[in-house]
Amino acid sequence: MKNVLGYAGILTLLFLLTAACQHPTQKASFEDISAVDALKAHSREFEKRVETVTDGVHVAIGYGLANSVMLEGDDGVIIIDTLESVQTAQKVQAAFRTITDKPVRAVIYTHNHADHVFGASVFADDPYIPVYAHETTSYYMDRIVSVLTPVINRRSMRMFGNRLDDAAIVNAGIGYRLNVHPDSRIGIVRPTRTFADELSDTICGIRFKLIHVPGETNDQICVWLPEKKALIAADNIYKTFPNLYTIRGTPYRDVRKWVDSLERMRDLGARHLVPCHTGPVSGREKIRELLTIYRDAIAFIHDQTIRGMNKGLAPDELAQKIQLPPHLAEHPYLQEFYGTVEWSVRSIFDGNLGWFDGNPTNLFQLPPKKKAEKMADLAGGEAALLAKAEAGYEKGQYQWVLELTDHLLRLNPENTRVKNLRAGALTALGKAQKNPNARHYYLTCAAELEQDLDMDKRATPDPEMVHAMPLSTFFDSMAVNLDPQRAADIRQTVHFVFPDIDAAYTVCVRNGVSEITPGRAGRPDITATVDSKVFKEMLARLRSPLITIAADFDVKGGKIAFIKFMKLFQASDA
């Protein structure tokens, strides 16, 4: 087939492939923004400092969202958790060096979350430094930075308030704030020493035991120092009600296993407790009491939710009914600065029974727009429904305003009057929130409506991190980004060949569905040969697709056809 598009056609198609990355940095601001006193007082937990918990155990607090712990040994140090970006990790590294300049001999990840692993390259700058983690940690890291990146990024930025200015952010509940921005650099180093249940080792004279304690994540581990009776507890306890469910989205957190893990940690008899968020605690009896209180709160929410489910109560009913007893609800470690009881109840219901609440009305609901039309009819027309929403706003019924504007925006998404009304309600709810996650989510969504705030700009990963990711994760990401409308009439097979690692993948598109398999299968329409690192960098947006495909790909079957094929996998808009 004659090339009728030419260079300009290639440029246009590749521009469309990369347009989603070209976003300016933007911060939302609010006039006269305020916060509740309890949330402001909670910021004292995150005053920037390095605390020496006991001899040779130092914890950096307030530099980012999480803590980083340095264990000092005879001729080196071990770093536990590495914060959320290269830039933040460098600041902690400088603080640790004021204590000792001994080299890093090992890194330990307590779990896969970004605020614990994204700064690792700063500390593990030598390929021979062992990186310890649970055997499933790599899987969860890959999942977050591949197939779920767009939605997790968008919801995380709302939850942590990363597009809000300093006046709008008070703190992040479990830390100062999440220091991840479009100019942040990510430096994951993949685990090299993994285990299933327990692992004991000695490095630079430090004896330690790693114990699998699933809780906030399935791969959660704690670090036990038997000679110092010090327990680094990861994210299974911190000074706020736990995130049994996170509104940024997560696989189900098995809270029953979380209870078991707290009991296992309690039985160690620690004299020093170092959470990976909020400050450390010393004293055997005090630590035992804290672990028991935390355990009891989670067990209560779990057991009472299951009890209510067995009585036939639906999630909405359970969320309103279940509350902690006073001795737990009033405890300083169970204030709702991060998780909430209501979100936890809903998650436990869904994790055990799934989305269906048992009400036959909800088996096949009206489509959202049809329901909005019915609501408008019920109110006497769209104008009457808007009048009801405005009346609710004047009365301070902000949640009701959100529910009504949900319907109004379904009917007319560009109605400025409705957008402003909804933004006002979101701002009012955000100001009144003690929970930072809810506050940030409300305020960010308000800014998206009023200030045209863009949520899709992402931090840039280090090339080394991208190179270390399995090739399979990049093809997993392609699969979930196939546009079914664009590919509806396409039947095409492409072989991707990577001679540098002697590997190949076959991507077959059949009428809106993809099948991706390792190796070469069937007769290809196109064969694209490229270095695997180049391919990874292109999909990670570290390289221009235009320059990369033109200069680095050997394509049999035509580069124009290949570009069109790749365009089928363009990441979709929200």
Q: How far apart are CA 343 and CA 539, in angstroms?
A: 35
Instruction: For residue 333, give the DSSP letter.
Output: G
> Which residues neighbour 254 within 8 Å (Cβ) at sequence distance 6 or greater?
214, 218, 351
In this predicted model, what pLDDT tens digit does every residue of 108-134 receive, in sequence order?
A: 999 999 999 999 999 998 989 999 999
Q: How far apart are CA 363 and CA 352, in angstroms?
A: 18
Sign of CA dihedral 498, 513, 562, 21: negative
- Note the pLDDT of residue 461: 66
What pairs with residue 28 in β-bridges? Answer: 164
- Note the pLDDT of residue 16: 30
In this predicted model, what pLDDT tens digit does every residue of 522-550 receive, in sequence order?
A: 999 999 999 999 999 998 888 988 889 99
Q: By the 8 A CB rule, do 162 and 181 touch?
A: yes
What pairs with residue 164 in β-bridges? Answer: 28
Q: Which fold has domain 459-567?
A: Nonspecific Lipid-transfer Protein; Chain A (3.30.1050)
CATH superfamily for domain 365-450: Alkyl sulfatase, dimerisation domain (1.25.40.880)
Task: Using alpha carbons, select from 483, 481, 536, 484 the residue that is nearest to residue 505.
Answer: 536
φ, ψ dihedrals at 72, nearest 5°: -95, 125
- Note the pLDDT of residue 209: 98
- 95-121: buried (b, 16+ CB within 10 Å) or exposed (e) per residue? bbeeeeebebbbbbbbbbbbbbbbbbb
- Note the pLDDT of residue 477: 86
Sign of CA dihedral 556, 503, 571, 121: negative
CATH class of 37-290: alpha beta
> Which tokens is 26 given?
């933007």
Q: What does the domain layout of the chain look like in residue ranges?
A: 37-290, 365-450, 459-567
- Note the pLDDT of residue 97: 98
Query: ∠36-50-206 over CA atoms, to 5°?
Result: 130
Task: Using alpha carbons, select from 164, 147, 81 the residue that is nearest to residue 115.
Answer: 81
Residues of the chain short of pLDDT 50, as ranges, are: 1-24, 573-574
